A and B are shown apart, each in its own frame.
Chain A
Amino acid sequence: MGWETPVALYMMRGLVTTLELTLICSVASLIGGTILGVAFIGEAPALVAVVRLYVEIWRGLPLIVILFFVFFALPVFDVKFSAFWAAAVGLSLWGSAVTAENVRGAVQSIPKAQREGARALGLSWPAMMWLVVLPQAVRRLLPPTLNMLTSLIHGTSLSAQLGVLELLESGRRSIQRLLLDVGNSHSLEIFGAILLIYFVICYPLTSLSRSLERRLSV
């Protein structure tokens, strides 16, 4: 039997972990980011300041620094996390900060007259948001959200550095194993295959984002 089949089967499990991590972070980032984003455009100055700090910190740091910080720092607070969950928390901190900023941008691009009109009709702030502003903002929110999801998928590869057995790490371990067993690491083929798999996953997302952007700009 050639080396390809066992390596492919092993890396398939890594791919599943990558997809699980992506799913968890995407959901957490979207839900958390939307809540933070609504607070960001709210009318409570203290809340806005807190969200701004959150957004500036987690959006401004390199993702790998966030992952290492969560991985090393949480155990000190007696929070026992596996590397997988440390990566999930780190990626979600980043993703929710980016989403909050995107929500703010999308809502601010809605003409002010829409909000004033809603308030003049006697709608409360939540009703104005839910019925008037957010439905219009969602359309503008789609392209940057797809870009955020693409970056999250790319970001999951950083969890390999914490030892999470996802796609990249499964490839790296296969390479080490092949080097010991057969003396040829096949690193070119394996890293090439990983690039190809990420491409196949991300290309539809970025194309969709671009076509939505084009349609919105017309």
Chain B
Amino acid sequence: MNLGYQLDPAYVVRHLGELGDGLAWTLVLTTIGLCGGIIAGLALGAVRAYRLPVFSNLVAAFVELIRNTPLFVQIFFLYFGLPKIGMRASAFEVACASLIIWGAAYNAENYRAALLAVPYQYEEAGRALGLGEMRTFWSIRLPIAIRFAMPSVTNISVETLKNSALMLAISFPELTDTAINLVAVSFRVFELFIVIGITYLVLAASLTQLMRSVEHRLAWPA
């Protein structure tokens, strides 16, 4: 190393308060993006799986648009572009909206595939028992599809956590934005990045474990 760069681990300790606030915002954004993305994705996936006329095509176009453009640019579009047509939103609202939209587009594909993977005999059995079309969907097809989709939904949830770091683009004070601002005034690069790097790795591992335990809890005995 040059310039006599000296590690100062105490620096991070002195700024734990700010970093803790950033971590809290990261968790808030992840939770909102994860839940919103799953619920909206499920609805869009069902529209696709049942090929509802017109809506199905609109959803397909939406999914392609989101999946083929960078989330980073989507955030700029929402935050700086949309106010031009009178849709002004705070950084927090844009952060939540962009994570939910992104998660919905990716989960829509997961849930569409999962709904289509449910064997049609199950549906026939439900109808044969006298259940209506809606009841068959809610009580038979949907519960099975949700379980089929769990592994892919877990991956998307971890991506949502990592994507929350992009909100530094609109200066939303989540963990990465907080660390970058501290780097800008102190140049304590190593200390800060090692700490937030380990934090992200631990969060991602914990989230994966959490989703796996949900998956296990939901699993039916074979």
Contact = CB atoms under 8 A, between A and B. Distances in A.
Contacts of B163: 62
A27 interface: no
26 contacts: A57-B197, A57-B201, A60-B204, A61-B200, A61-B201, A62-B165, A65-B165, A65-B176, A65-B193, A72-B183, A72-B193, A154-B69, A155-B70, A157-B70, A158-B166, A175-B80, A187-B81, A188-B85, A192-B77, A195-B69, A198-B68, A198-B73, A199-B69, A202-B68, A206-B67, A206-B68
B77 A61 contact: no
A57 B180 CA distance: 20
B65 A192 contact: no
Contacts of A153: 70
Contacts of A63: 162
Interface in A171-198: 172, 175, 185, 187-188, 190-192, 194-195, 198
Contacts of B69: 154, 195, 198-199, 202
Given A57-B201, A68-B193, A203-B64, A191 B81 contact: yes
A154 B70 contact: yes
Interface of B is mostly: helix
A125 interface: no
Interface of A is mostly: helix
A168 B75 CA distance: 12
Nearest to B197: A61
Given A61-B162, A168-B76, A76 B85 contact: no
Nearest to A156: B70
Interface string B158-182: 0000111110110000001000100
Interface stretch (B1-9, B39-47, B214-222): B1-9
A109 to B, nearest CB: 16
Contacts, number: 115
A78 interface: yes
Q: How large is the interface on A (under 10, 10 to 19, 20 to 34, 35 or more residues)?
A: 35 or more
Interface of A: 56-57, 60-65, 68-69, 72-73, 76-78, 150, 153-155, 157-158, 160-161, 168, 172, 175, 185, 187-188, 190-192, 194-195, 198-199, 202-203, 206
Interface of B: 1-3, 5, 64-65, 67-74, 76-77, 80-85, 162-166, 168-169, 176, 180, 183, 187, 189-190, 193, 196-197, 200-201, 204-205
Contact of A191 (B65, B77, B196): B77
A32 B190 CA distance: 25
B142 to A, nearest CB: 23
A56 B74 CA distance: 27
Nearest to B3: A76
Contacts of B189: 69, 72-73, 76
Contact of B168 (A61, A73, A161): A161
Given A62-B165, A62-B200, A158-B70, 8 more contacts: A61-B201, A64-B165, A69-B189, A69-B193, A157-B70, A157-B72, A157-B73, A202-B69
A158 B180 CA distance: 14
Contact of A65 (B5, B68, B84, B200): B200
The listed residue with most B CB atoms (<10 A of its CB), out of A78, A185, A191, A192, is: A191
Contact of A188 (B82, B165, B196, B205): B82
